[in-house]
Structure 1
Amino acid sequence: MFLRKLCIFSPLKPLKIDTKFYNSDKDDLFLEVQIQNISLSTVFIRKVSLELPEMYTEEALNTLNLDGEDECTFGTRTFLQAREGRHYLYHLRVKEEYLEEARKLSGLTEMGKLEIVWKRELGGIAMLHTVLLEREARSCGELKLSLEKIPDTVAREEPFQITCKITNCTDKKMKLLLKMHDTTSVRWCGHSGRSLGKLMPGSSLSFTLTLLCLQLGLRRISGIQIIDTTLKTKYCYDGVAKVCVVPSMMKMES
């Protein structure tokens, strides 16, 4: 009598895939994909592609424009040596007709899938590696503030301007009042307590502020306060951006 023993081995995949989403101040985000060959032999990458939800479009940021022609940042190489890694970057934008829906997303959100076609050797059988994409959607709260324009470098004690955009992320109409509060290093110029008017649900408006910095170095822009006079709700925004403050003479020479 013979006893047959069957052993089932699950072949290890040679690729380690890490993905990470980065939110921006606008209605878009970036996806970073890191692919690493964790095997001891060469792996050939035939194709890397995204399959996204209907509301998004993608732009691959993995090319360089050299002499008027787009070339892959990885050159003509299609393979990864043992323990070698590679990074891919994608810019994801929300389609205009889905903006309101995207702004209401919160919590864990499905973002489609990443597909990688690879093989172990030239002429070998192509294999498909699929990674389901998820991200933690950052809730913008009821009133989202983002920066549209701000200088990188400003002169000490010289006025400069920033342009802000606010978005009503609720389903209710707001009537807004803007207030600015000085900090140790930042002074606001102009009238505090001005009306920004009415803001309908899902709508945005932009406004420009003038300020000056009193101290040198990297300074935080803080002290913006917006009040919804309809519901008596106060929204405070601190550390919305940073600017580099230099002596005025250095600013003039540059």
Structure 2
Amino acid sequence: MSSTQSLHSLAFRVMRLCRPTFHVETPLQFDPCDVVVGEDLFDGDSSSDAHRHLLRSQFASGDSSSSDLTYRNRFVLSDDSDAMGLPGLLVLPQSFGAIYLGETFCSYISINNSSNFDVRDIIIKSEIQTERQRIMLVDTSKTPVESIRAGGRYDFIVEHDVKELGAHTLVCTALYYDNDTERKYLPQYFKFMVANPLSVKTKVRVVQETTFLETCLENNTKSNLFMDQVEFEPAPRWSATILKADVHHSEKDGHTREIFKPPILIRAGGGIYNYLYSLKMSSAPTKVEGSNVLGKLQITWRTNLGEPGRLQTQQIIGNPFTRKEIDLKAVKVPSVIILERPFLVHLSLTNLTGKKLGPFRVWLALSDSKEEKTVVISGLQRMDLPAVEAFESLEFQLNLVCAKLGVQKITGITVYDTMEKNTHDPLPDLDIFVDSDL
């Protein structure tokens, strides 16, 4: 490219626009008063500050740091704020730096005329090329730059929200008239890599009807990340609740803490933070086919000096499950059940498919164990139910009786489709407490 560049009057210079960083000096400084008289000498004395400043001034009077090349007092704490190691100076970036997914890439581009004559009618284009797409950032085709004088330059700023990982190329081109009225074309390419600032690891566990999603965020950058928001957006038919640890009693009534909630810090170079969500599926059936997609995470953060970043994860997949045709649930179970007296259990049968199912037959299946069942049907051992339309529900009652005191289980309530000749999964066991009538 150097041989081609020598034939052109123009050349691009690209500088990344980044916020400066704090210049940190050696923070291991000490107060000379503590060395001489101890740090607790003036505790409780109203004149302690005046005495301390007097001693400091005496040490400073003998300090000729302007001419002392040994810097023997460079660790002396002349002011309380000096212990932070921040002298109030900012340092501009010394390199192009790392670029991370979710950030805004901002660059200052200067096109310089290094020739001894003016160039005219310059059409400037700047675009970002990735493996998937090309994004135009600047295009002056409709309003070309009239001229750039000899030794002059034309400057502009481009911004791009980084949404892809891997290799990126900033392509800058110029089409212009040279001194010999020849139309020339100058392309220049600036390549950079985009890394992932966060590693997102998830674990899914199912406990009865609740799905727990554990999310671990790991900081892969060299700066601290202050998490503004980590929000889980559930898929349709799912609802999500974030679970948090119990706070200290001193923070429960802190209204100010709720308004000015501090961001969560994930430290540089491998710091982690965990989030836990409780997910439940809606019981109302829909015409959308079920899947094991749980949802996705929306993550926003800021760095040390407030530079924002934003990521959206891919869809998080839960444990695979088979699509049920019907949903059998217990709607109401009596709170008080008397030994050997009949009681009613209210049940609901829901058709989860888009077609008509049934008629059905309901009974209590025998248990696999040799133990005698303590809860049986009172009356007819089988109940016939009509067909259920698509996405509709049917409520019915079973008349049961229990022959044993204490905590018992209602097991084996089974539904059989007489049309499809198909036996569906039984209702999960129901715990009941049986009392005597005395």
Which interval holds the TM-score relative to the shorter structure? 0.5 to 0.7
Query: Once structures 1 and 2 are overlaid, which stretch shifts more, 186-195 or 78-87?
Result: 78-87
Tell me the C-alpha RMSD between the 2 structures: 4.4
1:245 paired residue number: 433
Any residues of structure 2 matched to 1:25-36 within 5 Å, and which?
32-36=213-217
1:45 aligns with 2:216: no
Q: Measure how far apart 1:229 and its partner are.
A: 2.7
For 1:168 and 1:60, the matched residues in 2 are separated by 28
For 2:345 and 2:390, the matched residues in 1 are separated by 24
Match of 1:119 among 293, 302, 311: 302
Letter in 2 for 1:115: Q
Q: Percent identity between the aligned chains?
A: 21
Note if contact 1:187-1:212 (Cα within 8 Å) is conserved in structure 2: yes
Number of aligned positions between the proteins: 227
Match of 2:204 among 5, 13, 20: 20
1:227 paired residue number: 416
Q: Measure how far apart 1:88 and its partner are.
A: 3.5
Match of 1:76 among 247, 251, 261: 261
Letter in 2 for 1:79: I
Letter in 1 for 2:380: H
2:287 paired residue number: 101
Note if contact 1:61-1:91 (Cα within 8 Å) is conserved in structure 2: no
For 1:149 and 1:87, the matched residues in 2 are separated by 31
2:274 paired residue number: 85
Query: Once structures 1 and 2 are overlaid, which stretch shifts more, 184-193 or 84-93?
Result: 84-93
TM-score by length of 2: 0.41
2:172 paired residue number: none
For 1:149 and 1:112, the matched residues in 2 are separated by 32
1:132 paired residue number: 315
1:175 paired residue number: 359
Note if contact 1:162-1:210 (Cα within 8 Å) is conserved in structure 2: yes
For 2:203 and 2:282, the matched residues in 1 are separated by 17
Larger fraction in strand? 1
Indicate how the Cα distance of structure 1 residues 142 and 23 shifts in structure 2: closer, same or farther if over 3 A, else same: farther
Note if contact 1:165-1:204 (Cα within 8 Å) is conserved in structure 2: yes
TM-score by length of 1: 0.63
For 1:123 and 1:89, the matched residues in 2 are separated by 31
Query: Once structures 1 and 2 are overlaid, which stretch shifts more, 114-123 or 207-216?
Result: 207-216
Q: Measure how far apart 1:176 and its partner are.
A: 1.8
For 1:114 and 1:89, the matched residues in 2 are separated by 14
Match of 1:206 among 395, 405, 412: 395
Indicate how the Cα distance of structure 1 residues 151 and 79 shifts in structure 2: closer, same or farther if over 3 A, else same: farther
Indicate how the Cα distance of structure 1 residues 138 and 79 shifts in structure 2: closer, same or farther if over 3 A, else same: same
Note if contact 2:408-2:434 (Cα within 8 Å) is conserved in structure 1: no
1:142 aligns with 2:328: no
Q: Measure how far apart 1:205 and its partner are.
A: 0.7
Note if contact 2:410-2:432 (Cα within 8 Å) is conserved in structure 1: no
Note if contact 2:300-2:308 (Cα within 8 Å) is conserved in structure 1: no
For 1:212 and 1:86, the matched residues in 2 are separated by 46
Letter in 2 for 1:48: V
Note if contact 1:185-1:214 (Cα within 8 Å) is conserved in structure 2: yes
Note if contact 1:38-1:83 (Cα within 8 Å) is conserved in structure 2: yes
Kindly name which structure, 1 or 2, has the bigger radius of gyration based on alpha carbons: 2
What SS does structure 1 have at the residue aligned with 2:424? strand
Q: Which runs of 5+ in 1 are unaligned?
A: 1-7
Indicate how the Cα distance of structure 1 residues 137 and 206 shifts in structure 2: closer, same or farther if over 3 A, else same: farther
Q: Which runs of 5+ in 2 are unaligned?
A: 1-191, 247-251, 367-371
Letter in 2 for 1:47: Q
Match of 2:378 among 179, 185, 189: 189
